[in-house]
Amino acid sequence: MTQTLARTRQDDGFDLTEDERDLSAMVREFAEEVVAPRSYEADREHELPLDVVAQMGELGLFGLPFPEEVGGQGGDYMAFCLAVEGLARVDQSIAITLEAAVGLGAMPVFRHGTEQQKQELLPALLAGKALAGFGLTETGAGSDAGATRTTAVLDGDEWVVTGSKQFITNSGTPITSHVAVTAVTGRTTDASGRERREISTIIVPTGTPGFTVEPAYDKVGWRASDTHPLTLDGVRVPASNLLGERGRGYANFLSALDEGRIAVAALATGAAQGCLEEAVRYANERVVFDVPIAQHQHIAFTIARMRSRVHTARLSWHDAARRRDAGASFKEQAAIAKLVASDAAMLNARDATQVFGGYGFMNESLVGRHYRDSKILEIGEGTSEVQLMLIARSLGLGVQA
């Protein structure tokens, strides 16, 4: 039995360095000993366990892909994604908290912030002592971010921000420092003479008058992840809170989105892996008509297909991450990884729940929680349909949005 689980847990990473293997082992141990025992309670209570977040910070997980000179661990995106995958195996809510905190919270400040913004915000973010959100999505603006309705108008030396955002991760925790909000800051004319919205990003600190974090959503999955709608009613912040170049807010977000797809693919792979491990364990333990159900060909073949999905998903995101870290083009590979891995997570969650039968339908069951959690993986960071569109366009097919 121990040998079977060891084979199930292999990382498929013949390309991993010794340091990467050590990191994966460390995160696995932390996930099993600290995260997993709290997962059901956190899911049931719809509450992010901040003590677990603090321990993640102490391990350096929030600083993994950042250079040491800004307080990071000096790692790369591969290392970060290995950590995300390892956490997602037992708790997707914790994994997405890390993924969003780094990719949508700290990374925009590191990439586009002024020296003052970096000095003020990055130390706490990279230590896991603070979280930050990225306010892009609105009622009519998600994949079509160009439809943004939130506005930011310069009044003297202040931006006045008005609008609303929805589905914003890490936006309402007690340690949330700010939300970077995309807003229309003017109008521009493109080369063809068409008028377009000028979209910029404004840093809005929590506690700013007029900035309201609305009650958290009652979600189907990721229930311990902090997610809120936001209202901005004439919010005033200094003009220096502009994050990046004026008018580059949407473009800067798109670059972050490509990276985010790799991380979400890693998260989805971790979920698929967790379902696989649980299915192997249960199939060997559950005895029906005097034999373990693992000896039934249908069950065995179902789990074999689960294994093949994990293998394919992991190879896919590894490829995208390696390309990103090497400075090569990775947009198409990120879309493929996101598509393949989210499919794997959803299908493995369904199959594992079926293997477990009635026990899999209980919220106490890890596979039952994965079944609820995994659906959002086909929606967030660009829907599966968006990934197909991106892949088609990379082939020279003129598909329209």
- Known catalytic residue: 381? yes
For residues 311-316, average pLDDT = 97
How many angstroms separate the CA atoms of 74 and 84, rounded? 17
How far is it between the farthest Cα atoms of the chain? 79
Count other C-beta atoms under 10 Å from residue 238's C-beta.
12
Go through the domains of the chain in sequence order and give each one's CATH number. Answer: 2-131 (1.10.540.10), 132-247 (2.40.110.10), 251-394 (1.20.140.10)
pLDDT bracket for residue 249 (50, 70, 90): confident
Of 69, 87, 346, 328, residue with least CA distance to 224: 87
pLDDT at 395 exceeding the cut of 60? yes
Predicted pLDDT of residue 253: 81
Amino acid in the structure at residue 25: A
Predicted pLDDT of residue 401: 66
Residues in the chain: 401
E strands in 142-175 = 151-155, 158-169
How many angstroms separate the CA atoms of 188 and 312, rounded? 44
For residues 375-380, average pLDDT = 96
Q: Give the model confidence (pLDDT) of 254-297 as tens digits.
A: 778 889 999 999 999 999 999 999 999 999 999 999 999 999 99
Terminus-to-terminus CA distance in the chain, angstroms?
49
CA atoms within 13 A on the CB side of 83: 25
For residues 139-150, average pLDDT = 78
How many angstroms separate the CA atoms of 297 and 11, rounded? 25
Q: Give the model confidence (pLDDT) of 217-231 as tens digits.
A: 999 999 999 999 999
Which residue in the list 85, 138, 278, 381 is annotated as catalytic? 381
pLDDT bracket for residue 11 (50, 70, 90): low
pLDDT at 190 exceeding the cut of 80? no
Helical axes 331-356 vs 249-285, angle rounded to 10°: 30
pLDDT bracket for residue 1 (50, 70, 90): very low
Predicted pLDDT of residue 353: 98
Predicted pLDDT of residue 8: 53
